[in-house]
Amino acid sequence: MAATTGASETWQARIGHDLAAQLRDDAKVLGLEGRTQIVRAALELLHRRAAEERMARSVEAFYGDETPPLPVGVRPARSGEAPGAPA
């Protein structure tokens, strides 16, 4: 449910007691105060993750079956080396 008031919207969701307790613990670790900051941080994380997924899909669509080039400063992994090791 979303209610629009002026320049912002209010979003609501019911969650179980166990998840609520976990989120309160998470909020302490992250220095978040109150439900509003918790929900805002969660929604920003959701949006960031979706943006990353859109980017990955666009790269996949652009390159198709080809292997995309590595980013600048990244060299191909050698045997026994972690993939994406810096140059």
pTM, entire model? 0.68
Tens digit of pLDDT for each residue in 11-59? 889 999 999 999 999 999 999 999 999 999 999 999 999 999 999 999 9
Query: Which parts of the chain fold into alpha helices (H)?
Result: 17-30, 34-63
Q: Is 6 left (phi over 0), alpha (psi -120 to 50) or beta?
A: left
